[in-house]
Amino acid sequence: MTTAFVTTLTTHDQIGFELGWDYAHHGILPAAPYGEEPSPLLAGLRAGQASFGTRTLLPTRHVRKWLQLRLHAWLRGRSVELLQVTPNHLQQIEASHCPITRMQLSTATLEASDASVDRVRNDAGYAAGNLAMMSTKANHAKAANGFRDALHILRDLEAAGSPAGGGLTLAQWARVAVLCSFVEPLAHEEASALPLLVLPPNRLRLFNPVQALQAFVSRQLLAPGWSQRVARFEALLPGKPLRRAFQMFFHALLPRVLEAGRTDDAQRARWAVEDAWRNPLVMKRWIAFARLLTAAQCEQLVARAAAKGLATQRVEQIDTAAATEGWNLETRGYVPHAVVARGAAAPRQVALPL
For residue range 211-251, what is the model confidence (pLDDT) as tens digits? 999 999 999 999 999 999 999 999 999 999 999 999 999 99
Query: What pLDDT does 345 receive?
Result: 43
Domain extents for the chain?
Answer: 1-77+335-354, 79-205, 208-317
Q: What is the mean pLDDT of the chain?
A: 92
d(CA 165, CA 174): 12
Query: What pLDDT does 7 receive?
Result: 54
Average pLDDT for residues 307-313, to the nearest whole number? Answer: 94
Q: Which tens digits make up the pLDDT trace of 58-109?
A: 999 999 999 999 999 999 999 999 999 999 999 999 999 999 999 999 998 9
Query: What pLDDT does 342 receive?
Result: 56
Query: Which residues share a beta bridge with 161?
Result: none
The backbone torsions φ and ψ at residue 314, rounded to the nearest 5 degrees and listed phi first, read: -60, 135
pLDDT exceeds cutoff 60 at 352:
no
Confidence of residue 263 (pLDDT cuts 50, 70, 90): confident
pLDDT exceeds cutoff 80 at 346:
no
Q: Which tens digits make up the pLDDT trace of 180-223?
A: 999 999 999 999 999 999 999 999 999 999 999 999 999 999 99
Query: What pLDDT does 340 receive?
Result: 61
Question: Could you count the other beta carbons within 10 Å of the beta carbon of residue 317?
Answer: 12
